[in-house]
Chain A
């Protein structure tokens, strides 16, 4: 890509004119796109009448972002990227990469100083400046901390990518104590529960779906059904028969797996789009049954007051119980212990899912799944029974969905059909696709980015400063989700980790060439 001709700026005036023009066009397009979406909003007034709310300010911000973004892209970013590919005439070297320029030692020192000052004196500074500026102080602190952390990641990037799995596991293990240390028991709740547990549940679900979609290649749009089966198995059996979490966790998995087989039988002959539609319908059927079978499931009211899990029956987290965890250890009462316990429980379940997936991939059944994804006819001609292969894939995937479901029920203490809508299936599938089908690490990263990202959006009070106090960032999370999908699919069309790791080697591991061949073509 290196060109030795150094292009003297074609004509700066020309470039500026073009950038301005394109910025203007971008503004026009944005105006056209958003005038009805953002500029106008229907609302109900106090008399319950439908009224039109006009939001021209917000619309102006959207249009301005589009125009300025386009202008900067054309005028500065593109010429910059082009210069990055031109070698220096004197030294014959390419310019430093963006990352090495961005992570310089002086900048690190400045960022570290700002971070330290704001971490210790942030409160006083926040109180001293006008109220409107306070969120900005928080934001500067956040950016400084992120920069310092990112610098560390960048500096040790080779080591990190070589030992990613181990480092990630260690980070997850020390995550709850770290949060408790940083924010106290009450403050850690948000990070351990909303970020930690929530992400881990999605990782578990996505890894379960990965067996069906990623390994066996069966497109399942109704995966949330098994999640629902697991959650309701736990909720119902616990509230009707008083069974404990540790009995119901495997039972929920088995029941969900059983439903996986029930779904599997009628769809054995289907594949691709047809399979997707039938599984989609299956997911909706389960949800509608849950809504309408009010005698058992209490319909849309859901089931509340689900019993909490205990530490193998030794310590309970029920406030009334004599063996309450906090009482036994004479700690102050807090719900944080339970959340931290659930975090480690979720982590253990995730590790179990990963372990089973990795082991199965090396076993005949796992190899048969992958072969099935590649070519069904070839599978049959090699003596593989495709019927049992598909059914085991459905059952195994569903079983992990069931585990995740029962865990979800025990975490929420409440289940209702609203948690199991099609959108959930779509999100789980999106995580699997974004992560790279079949890759456990990629999927875990995708789950962290997508679920953590949407949670983070709730925290971004700074956005209210930009878009006005009416702006609720979490309403835009699907927009961000979609945007992220487009970006990933354009840059890395096969997901974060798009190459498949082979399961067998002759005598020694070798790097595998041709990772990026088009899928399904010889």
Chain B
């Protein structure tokens, strides 16, 4: 059975990261996953990511027990299930961080920072905690849905980033250090470029990293960007995967079809989905989701501009035109035979199948598309039986010609 050896190292790293949040040695800042983590880290904050906790609640299937608690407080069961699961878990004082990492729960924030580049829901979500803890909160509101991101728009985001500085100085007790910021951006860039290369190993005929494995191995690039630890981890992982690719060793040695996954993972069904595709000879080799933590614009020589640009140019923050161009490029690069869109019931912003894009992209690229309904955390929106039928039917369609022996 195919195994990625670096997984053990990743588990150690993630364990150490979570434990460090409780050490009390540093101030803690909460941040959105595609937020200005580098700036926060340059002030010496430990950075905690509630979205990572949401994913953990989804993957452990604890979300369904937590969501009703948030609903009781007035949060609709139809809004972001990261938000409702996370708030519900907080209210229930029940978190997988306790059982998996021996923590008391999420660390208490000294500062909360969010970026609406992915959705406006994070603003409501993070304000809940700012109100509860009575701690400062800063928000970045970049322009959204752009075809092209101009320098004017980047300048606007730079100004918003820079407005964070006095708050960060006050809460951290440290003056802003431009040299330290450049260093963190350099480390972040190096880790993110290694992550990009890790993902691209699956352009190989026998791909060594599936989308499903990618959702696990992306842990450090989400929570430890800007650290040497993350950079070292991706160098280790890349070395192993490149060697596998060179030797023709992949998670599916001879895939009959190569699939692109668009949208959020269905965290509580990763194993089931991974097995389903593999059983049908289909390799899910690439995704918008895992690619969302590739910030190849980062440049330590121009840290403000480059981070503002990179965080504004991410896939989820772009227009349909820009998204279609990005997807078209990925289809070619990864030799994609079909795309599966996950229409996530509670994640409107990261569901791209609701305004006809699958049809338009199919017309443009000829790549067949399937839309499956589900959710990132709330499995009550997911029907396993119907999804299996849809996926098997889709894969069958991709292979249709093979019936003519």
A and B associate in one complex = no
> Which A residues have a C-beta under 8 Å from some C-beta of B?
none
> Which B residues have a C-beta under 8 Å from some C-beta of A?
none
